[in-house]
Structure 1
Amino acid sequence: MKTFMANEQTVTRKWYVVDAAGAPLGRLASQVAAVLRGKNKPEFTPHVDTGDFVIVINSDKVALTGKKLEQKTKFHHTLYMGGAKEIKYDKLLAEKSDEAVYLAVKGMLPKNSLGRKMLKKLRVYKGAEHKHEAQKPEPMKLAEKRYNKNGN
């Protein structure tokens, strides 16, 4: 018996559309990252990009739980002296919600050339419209929250 190894010629890619309205940002990002990586397929191979294309719509309606909206910050540096910039997530979600979703998914992909290739298959839109109807995307249902024995 031989172990199956996927390669670029044997991979078939599908398009999925995800509605982010009301979904927690972290749960949405982890499930989208798994599809981009190809972990939902039986032919998943870690060193090959076996993932599918994902379109995220309604990113402006994504939710953050707890006090993250007021306390969580996005940090970046302009590479100039004193160029450290911070922006709180309530302002980031109001102005650039598509960037917030993009960065959350990016953080859950591998930090190498394969991860950068997987990230190119992600499209994020603020509203409900997208321009990928020609690819006939299938709606992807997000997994519900799993509860432990105590019901939490």
Structure 2
Amino acid sequence: MELTKIATESDINRQWVVLDAKGQTFGRLIAQIATLLRGKHKPCFTPHIDCGDFVVVINAAEVKFSGMKLQDKEYFTHSGYFGSTKSKTLQEMLDKNPEKLYHLAVRGMLPKNKLGRAMLKKLKVYRGSEHPHSAQVSKSSK
């Protein structure tokens, strides 16, 4: 009987993946990003080890949404003081800060602990097609 190999930090080979968000559906793209960050696409996936890749998302502001989400979906913030609840629509978030929108969406799909926070640091999101990570990129995807 063959035992399953459990990955260690020294066994992990991290890649850089560039994803172009232009014309892609937001939710499907976020699910793909979460899978790459977590490392579930690798045969050496181990749940308690961060074995995922670095992900660079370009053209973040040109993603598409279905239905009336741009006008209807709202994001709420609260400072903890009475009456401090603020809301922004998805359209406002996409126009003002698409990087934050991606981080919020991906964060919800990652583990809610130190490991998930470490995985989220490997996500780099850029509004346009230019990014400073062109030297590290070794693997490109659609």
Instruction: Tell me which interval the TM-score lies in, with the shorter structure as reference length.
Output: over 0.9
TM-superposed CA distance for 1:79, in Å, is: 2.1
Shift of 1:140: 1.3
Correspondence 1:2-151 to 2 at 5 A: 2-141=3-142
Q: After TM superposition, give the deviation of residue 138 of structure 1 in Å.
A: 2.1
The secondary structure found in structure 2 opposite 1:54 is strand
Number of residue pairs aligned between Structure 1 and Structure 2: 141
Where do 5+ consecutive residues of structure 2 fail to align?
none
Measured against aligned partners, the alpha-carbon deviations of 1:67-97 in whole angstroms (never above 9, x if no partner) come to: 1111101111122221111100011111111
Q: 1: distance between equivalents of 2:137 and 2:119? A: 20
Q: Secondary structure at the match of 2:10?
A: coil
Amino acid at match of 2:118: K
- Could you list the structure 1 runs, at least 4 aligned residues long, displaced by more than 6 angstroms after superposition: none
Query: Distance in 2 between the 1:79 and 1:21 partners?
Result: 37
Aligned counterparts of 1:110 and 1:67: Cα–Cα separation in 2? 29
TM-score normalized with structure 2 length: 0.95
SS at match of 1:74: strand
Let me know the Cα RMSD of the aligned residues: 1.0
Q: Is the 8 A contact 2:18 2:137 kept in 1?
A: no
| SS of structure 2 residue aligned to 1:16 | strand
Distance, in Å, in 2 between the alignment partners of 1:97 and 1:137 is 25
SS in 2 for 1:118: helix
Secondary structure of residue in 2 paired with 1:135:
coil
Gapped regions of structure 1 (runs ≥ 5)? 142-152
Query: Does the Cα contact within 8 Å between 1:57 and 1:124 map onto a contact in 2?
Result: yes
TM-score normalized by the length of structure 1: 0.89
Q: State the AA in 1 paired with 2:93.
A: L
What is the CA-CA distance between 1:37 and the residue it aligns to?
0.3
Q: Distance in 2 between matches of 1:81 and 1:137?
A: 49
Question: How far apart, CA to CA, are the structure 2 residues paired with 1:53 and 1:34?
Answer: 11
Q: Contact 1:25 / 1:104 at 8 angstroms: preserved in 2?
A: no
What is the deviation of 1:20?
0.5
Question: Contact (CA 8 Å) 1:17, 1:138: kept in 2 or not?
Answer: yes
